Structure 1
Amino acid sequence: MALELATPTVDGLSSAIDALRDWQTDGSPHQLHPGDLGWFWRFGAEKTAASTRVWSRDGVVLAVGLLDEVDMLRVALAPDALRDEELTQQLVTDLTQPERGLLPAGKVYLESPNGSLLKERLAAEGWQLDAPWVPVRRDLTDPVEDPGLRVDLVGTEEAHERALVQRESFAGSTFTDDRWFTMADGPLYADARCLLGRNELGESVAAVTVWFAGAGKPGYLEPMGVHRIHRGRGYGRAITLAAARTLRELGASTAFTYTPASNVGAVATYESAGFVRQPETRDLVREA
């Protein structure tokens, strides 16, 4: 049977989510995590489904894509399909022909795992490497040290604080109370936790959301932020340690995230919390 490209219904998202969970293993290249769909769910179930693409063969999912932006596609591949010739050719065709409706004409971006044949083929088509990102990972075999900060589990009563810290941590953030509730009502949040760090005055100073993909699998931090007026006091390290502790309690094997290499402060924060730098990864960009 030929390869099929589909935009799933909301109910049909389960196959993409299950595939992303299955593909998360320690030692595999960094790529799209179920938590990425979980975080995107803040925009609603219908938009999440409309922004997802699934490539399958004989009913087996081989690749999952998330249109994070109109011009930005993030593609995850089954571990045994990283060098799949037929799949790669189909992806190249879908990505380089705007009339197929996947990416528009003009400047576009693609995230795909290191070591994939897809990156090599698109480079041959004239796509260029974009700025580097740094994945960081912490092994959770041993207990994680106490963060030394009061950390609350976010529920309905704390949702407004979680949303506020997000907006104050990231310029241009559109996260709101309603979007937190939308995200929390989604199926992926059943395996997630939002944590809120408080200083000695009880003020909310930092926040993180962690996503669990299953026992013995890597857990994901997305996003983590420190309120802009409370930076430089170690709260980023503390909330990151709290995230790692939570993922270990859930049963994750490792905790990971990634950040632009240019954000040296974020990289240093993760390293101070025991996370280890992994090989850099770069998106591909097509300029025209």
Structure 2
Amino acid sequence: MLREWQHDGASVPLHPGDLGWYWRFGAEATAKAVRIWRRDGRIRALGLLDGSGLARLGIAPGAAGDEDLARRLAADVSQPERGVLPQGTASVEARWRGVFHELLLDGGWELSKPWTPLVRDLAEPVADCGVRIETTGPEQASVRAAVQRAAFSRSTFTSERWHAMTTGPPYADARCLIAYDDHGVAVATATVWSAGAGRPGLLEPMGVHRDHRGHGYGRAITVASAAALRELGSSSATVCTATANVGGVATYRSAGFRPLPDVRDLRRNA
């Protein structure tokens, strides 16, 4: 269902890969983190509670203008007793515009810091990235996890979580990549998620080992990710990073990604 909602031209909506990456915490935790909104018997919106205070929302094509659905969504994320977001500080990621945004802003929510979505069209072949790239299998899980932790200081990723992630249905159309330098040292990693042939694929996450930055490995693994998504049949590769992450935006642009207009989450302060 969420796969069918993906289409080129959208500003990096909630993607099957977002659920796939969350699956590192296990199937039960992922199920508990998902919220579903139905209308007339059909699923029209879906949410992922990514942490205790963030709801990441996706909406079915054509449903953004449904005012009744917008009011229900706004009430559900605004009232803690409805079980979506807790009392106090909270954020909502909703990459469409319309009544839902207006209702939250009128209710005291504020726009938070901007994010920059980027996209690379995959109609044409992707050039070689210039470094050795390997697809992670069970035997490389500990290497994949170690590079992730070295790239993100707060990461808790482990080989056990890699194995949990790969058992999820979204990973059937995904790949974990590792980049190696000329000495055979793992220097960067990324995971790519396909939503099926002819639909946009997602790059999430991408990171370069803290000891190997400044050598172009971020660009290389990003180019390799675009190539992997093309092999999986994706029409485009998408990614989103904080606009303040100037280096990250520059890396994606150097890898052939085109920035789209900035987007902002909605935030409610305690």
* TM score, norm. by length of structure 1: 0.92
Runs of 4+ in 1 over 3 A off after TM superposition: none
**Which amino acid is the alignment partner of residue 64 of structure 1?**
L
Gaps (5+ residues) in structure 1? Answer: 1-17
How many Å apart are 1:29 and its aligned residue? 3.1
Q: State how far apart, in whole Å, the 2-side matches of 1:224 and 1:131 are.
A: 21
Shift in Å, 1:253 = 0.3
Distance 1:184 1:100 in 2: 32
Contact 2:11 2:117 in 1 (8 A): no
Letter in 2 for 1:186: G
The letter of the residue matching 2:56 is R
- CA deviations on 1:191-240 (whole Å, 9 max, x unpaired) are 10000000011100000000000100000000000000000000000000
* Counterpart-to-counterpart distance in 2, 1:116 and 1:25: 19
| Aligned counterpart, 1:195 | 177
The structure 2 residue matched to 1:156, chosen from 138, 157, 165, is: 138
Aligned counterpart in structure 2 of residue 102 of structure 1, from 81, 84, 94: 84
Residues 54 and 90 in structure 2, CA contact (< 8 A), matched pair in contact too: yes
1:187 is displaced (CA, Å) by 1.2
Match of 1:201, as an amino acid?
A: H
1:136 aligns with 2:118: yes
- The CA distance in 1 between the partners of 2:116 and 2:245, in whole Å, is 9
Residue 66 of structure 1 deviates from its aligned partner by 0.3
Separation in 1 of the partners of 2:11 and 2:223? 23
- Select the residue among 147, 163, 175 that pairs with 1:181: 163
State yes or no: 1:35 paired with 2:17.
yes
Deviations 1:146-177 (A, max 9, x none): 10000001001110000000000001100001
Structure number with greater CO (CA < 8 Å, separation at least 6) is 2
The separation in 2 between residues aligned to 1:121 and 1:30, in whole angstroms, is 22
Q: How does 1:248-287 map to 2 (within 5 A)?
A: 248-287=230-269
Secondary structure of 1:181 counterpart: helix
SS in 2 for 1:62: strand
Answer yes or no: is the 8 Å Cα contact 1:208–1:243 preserved in 2: yes
Whether 2:50 is the aligned partner of 1:68: answer yes
Structure 1 residue 69: Cα displacement: 0.9
Q: Name 1:92's counterpart in structure 2.
A: 74
**Residue 7 of structure 1 aligns with which residue?**
none
* Distance in 1 between residues matched to 2:196 and 2:239, nearest whole Å: 16
| Letter of the structure 2 residue corresponding to residue 194 of structure 1 | C
> 1:120 aligned to 102, 109, 113, which one?
102
Matched, 1:168 2:168: no
Instruction: Please say which of residues 264-273 and 74-83 is displaced more in the overlay.
Output: 74-83
Report percent identity of matched pairs. Answer: 55
How many Å apart are 1:70 and its aligned residue? Answer: 1.0
Match of 1:9 in 2: none
Cα deviation, 1:88-145, whole Å, max 9, x if unaligned, reads 1111111121111211111110000132321111011110000000000000011111
Q: CA deviation at 1:58?
A: 2.4
Shift of 1:30: 2.4
User: In the comparison of the two structures, how many residue pairs are matched?
Assistant: 270
Gaps of 5+ in 2: none
CA contact (8 A) 1:30 1:114 kept: no
Contact 1:52 1:67 in 2 (8 A): yes
Q: Could you say what secondary structure the match of 1:79 adopts?
A: coil
**Whole-angstrom distance in 2 between the partners of 1:224 and 1:267:** 12
Residue 219 of structure 1 aligns with an amino acid whose one-letter code is G
Counterpart Cα distance in 2 of 1:227 and 1:198: 11
- Residue of structure 1 in register with 2:59 after alignment: 77
Is residue 165–residue 226 contact of structure 1 (8 Å, CA) maintained in 2?
Answer: yes
TM-score by length of structure 2 reads 0.98
Pick aligned residue for 1:229 from 211, 234, 238? 211
Question: What's the offset of the Cα at 1:28?
Answer: 2.0
CA RMSD of aligned residues (A): 0.8
Matched with 1:246 is: 228
Equivalent-residue separation in structure 2 for 1:120 and 1:197 (angstroms): 44
